[in-house]
């Protein structure tokens, strides 16, 4: 394991990122309602018996059982439950919840959403530093209903990491709302975001989640991605992500959150000032 002396700047940031994600989630969890007792019983007993089946199938030893206990304790100590669950479990919840949608595909929210990003109108530049590294990207399109009619007053919340793979409010040293913004469509349903293209992203791996990834022979990478929440009056909110054609890790996302419908193909702008791409969101009725 990483010892304190050999910690890099990235490791230090990774440790803080996990703890911040737990703090943000605990705030959100205050609003989570009571879970139906009959469903808890049904889900819990099935989950436990699935676990018992795995133990029997692999003839799990006491040493392995104790290693699991120690690791589970460490995930909590490292503040990494939101990170671990969103990376390894959330995609199955998303698939189940969005199975009947007819409009745009959803994907996982992940641990780094913050509500209340600055309002930028129908077109605007994402909050970023004067010297923000990365290729400029114009990302825009139309929000429509299932019939293709534009939706006015739709909000497109966009958040993504910077060119070094850091999310504002989770990694230290970034302006509060860096690369987080909210766009609102007018009568034509259009939105246009001026931002930078994010880079592939290595999830924080100096804590318990990283230990799991290494020990299980996995890797910590996610393909470059934009995170989005899109909603309009009388329409269902969709939480999703968009990826970039020919990018690394599209076929091996550690979080298993890529879908072919969610891959963008940006092109170079004629004036050489960066890339541009359109994506039209289709919302299901509420």
Q: How far is the CB of 55 from Fe ion (least distance, A)?
A: 33
- 118 and 187 in contact (C-beta within 8 Å)? no
| Residue 226 binds ligand MBD (CB under 6 A) | no
Q: Which is nearer to ligand MBD, 239 or 275 (CB)?
A: 239
Q: Which is nearer to ligand MBD, 200 or 274 (CB)?
A: 200
For 35, 47, 122, 237, the CA distances from 43, given in Å and listed in that order, are: 11, 6, 43, 26
Looking at 15, 108, 211, 231, which residue binds ligand MBD (CB under 6 A)? 108
| Residue 79 binds ligand MBD (CB under 6 A) | no
Here's the x/- map for Fe ion, 143-182, by CB under 5 A: it reads as ----------------------------------------
User: Cα–Cα distance between 112 and 255 in angstroms, integer?
Assistant: 14
Helix 62-77 and helix 208-215, axial crossing angle in degrees, nearest 10: 140
Contacts of 232 (CB under 8 A, 6+ apart): 143, 145, 151, 152, 153, 154, 155, 185, 283
Select from Fe ion, ligand MBD, none the partner in contact with residue 166, using the beta carbon and a kind-dependent cut-off of 5 to 8 Å. Answer: none
Q: Which is nearer to Fe ion, 110 or 124 (CB)?
A: 110
Q: Which is nearer to ligand MBD, 104 or 239 (CB)?
A: 239
Name the residue with the smallest CB distance to ligand MBD. Answer: 110
- Residues in region 110-169 near ligand MBD by CB under 6 A: 110-112
Q: How far is the CB of 144 from Fe ion (least distance, A)?
A: 26
Q: Which is nearer to ligand MBD, 156 or 257 (CB)?
A: 257
- 110 and 243 in contact (C-beta within 8 Å)? no
Q: Which is nearer to ligand MBD, 80 or 145 (CB)?
A: 80
| String of DSSP letters for 154-214 | -EEEEE---TTS--TTTSTTS-TTTTEEEEE--TT-EEEEEEEPPPPEEPP-SSHHHHHHH
Backbone angles phi, psi at 213, to 5 degrees: -60, -45
User: Cα–Cα distance between 254 and 202 in angstroms, integer?
Assistant: 9
Contacts of 11 (CB under 8 A, 6+ apart): 2, 206
- Residues in region 94-123 near Fe ion by CB under 5 A: 110
β-pairing verdict for 136-144 and 281-282? parallel
Here's the x/- map for ligand MBD, 39-78, by CB under 6 A: it reads as ----------------------------------------
Q: How far is the CB of 280 from ligand MBD (least distance, A)?
A: 22
List, in sequence order, every residue forming a beta bridge with 137; answer none if it has no partner: 195, 275
Which residues of this chain interact with Fe ion, rule CB under 5 A? 110
């Amino acid at each position: 394991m990483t010892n304190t002396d050999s910690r890099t700047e990235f490791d230090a940031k990774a440790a803080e990122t996990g703890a911040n994600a737990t703090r943000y989630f605990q705030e959100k969890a205050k609003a989570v309602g009571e879970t139906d007792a009959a469903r808890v019983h049904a889900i819990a007993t099935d989950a436990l018996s699935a676990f018992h089946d795995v133990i029997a199938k692999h003839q799990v030893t006491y040493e392995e059982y104790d290693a699991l206990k120690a690791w589970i304790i460490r995930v909590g100590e490292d503040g990494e439950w939101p990170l671990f669950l969103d990376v390894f479990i959330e995609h199955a919840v998303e698939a189940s919840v969005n199975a009947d949608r007819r409009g745009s595909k959803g994907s996982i929210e992940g641990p780094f959403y913050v509500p209340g990003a600055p309002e930028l109108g129908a077109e605007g530049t994402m909050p970023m530093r004067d010297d923000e590294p990365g290729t400029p990207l114009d990302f825009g399109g139309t929000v429509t209903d299932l019939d293709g009619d534009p939706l006015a007053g739709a909000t497109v919340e966009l958040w993504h990491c910077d060119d070094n793979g850091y999310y504002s409010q989770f990694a230290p040293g970034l302006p509060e709302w860096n690369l987080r913004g909210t766009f609102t469509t007018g009568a034509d349903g259009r939105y246009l975001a001026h931002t930078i293209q994010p880079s592939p992203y290595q999830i924080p791996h100096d804590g318990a989640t990283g230990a799991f990834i290494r020990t299980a022979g996995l890797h910590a990478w996610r393909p470059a991605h934009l995170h989005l929440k899109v909603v309009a009056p009388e329409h269902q909110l969709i939480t999703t992500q968009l990826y970039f054609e020919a990018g690394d890790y599209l076929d091996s996302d550690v979080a298993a959150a890529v879908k072919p419908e969610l891959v963008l193909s940006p092109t170079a702008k004629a004036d050489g000032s960066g890339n541009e791409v359109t994506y039209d969101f289709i919302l299901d009725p509420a």
